[in-house]
Amino acid sequence: MYLGIDLGTSALKAVLLADDGRIVAQQSAPLEVSRPHPQWSEQSPADWWRALTIALAELVRGHAGAMRAVRAIGLSGQMHGAVLLAAAGEVLHPAMLWNDGRSEPQCAELTERVPRLAQVAGNRAMPGFTAPELLWVHDHPPQVFAKTVKVLLPKDWLRFKPSGEFFGDCSDASGTLWLDVGACDGSDELLAACGLTRAQMPALVEGSAPPGRLNRNVADGFGLNAGLVIAGGGDNAASAAGMGATAPGDGFVSLGTSGVVVPCSDRFLPRPGSAVLAFCHAGAARGVDGAPFAVQGAPSVDEGQLPAS
């Protein structure tokens, strides 16, 4: 038995899967987006945790035995969002989401600081990406930026909360503008352009690696066994791996809060001039000699963020 958790923008979904892939049960809990100003889009990570608690409680209520039989937890989640943590692990600021549009001036600033940004990161600087969001924090609530010890993506915070461990993966990190996507490694140059270092980033592993493990207190509350591996990837990369879209030429269309077309490739193919995004695939879909497939998708257009080609 396996437990899959997807942290979406409008809901958190949880699904119990048998070893043969059969769906045993599924639950969801809705999420609200806060828009305190025009172009702003935020969520409280505490609401993510509350939604997870609700969904898993429903699964335990109807399938306690199956929950105790879970062997591992797979996470996927909305990409790009910035969760800023202080030294004690507390959240310092609402999470700015992938569809937050306030950081357009910071996108221009970042592009000016690193002219080869798109060639390294595989993507143009656009509002909603994590790096310009952090530059916005630096410029506006600078005291929050000064206290920031770790920056986590949404699903990585959802792994940190029950494990206390700081890990990320390359598929999700591809959407930060801090990753050298072709090398599947963090870029000191891109981090420095935002006043950050690798020490403030989670360690990067393959999406299929066993980095986080569920601690005893949380496990007991969720009706699960302690020590379960918590692995995962960015939402579209995880979807691709789950449906078997892992070979060059495979692809799919996803229509949710955003819409993307995702073809797979066996090499890094940045096309920033066309506003197509170039991301690493999930770790389970590594190619020959460990070369990652690139997942390329059209960015959301529901917030009017798609630049002209």
Residue positions annotated with a catalytic role: 235
Rg (CA), the chain: 18
Nearest to 26 by CA among 51, 5, 40, 8: 5
- A 10 A CB-CB count for 283 gives 22
Tokens of 75: 């996470």
| CA 233 – CA 241 distance, rounded (Å) | 10
Pick left, alpha or beta for residue 275 (phi over 0 → left; psi -120 to 50 → alpha; otherwise beta). Answer: left
Strand partners, 12: 7, 29
Amino acid 304 reads G
Strand spans (E) along 175-280: 179-180, 185-186, 203-205, 212-213, 229-234, 251-255, 259-265, 277-280
Give every CB contact of residue 116 below 8 A, 6+ residues apart in sequence: none
- A 10 A CB-CB count for 259 gives 14
CA angle in degrees (0–180, nearest 5) for 37-79-7: 90
Nearest to 172 by CA among 281, 97, 261: 281
Strand partners, 205: 169
Q: In angstroms, what CA-CA distances link 85 with 38, 137, 161?
A: 25, 13, 11
Residue pair 230/222 in contact (Cβ under 8 Å)? The answer is no
| DSSP secondary structure letter of residue 276 | B
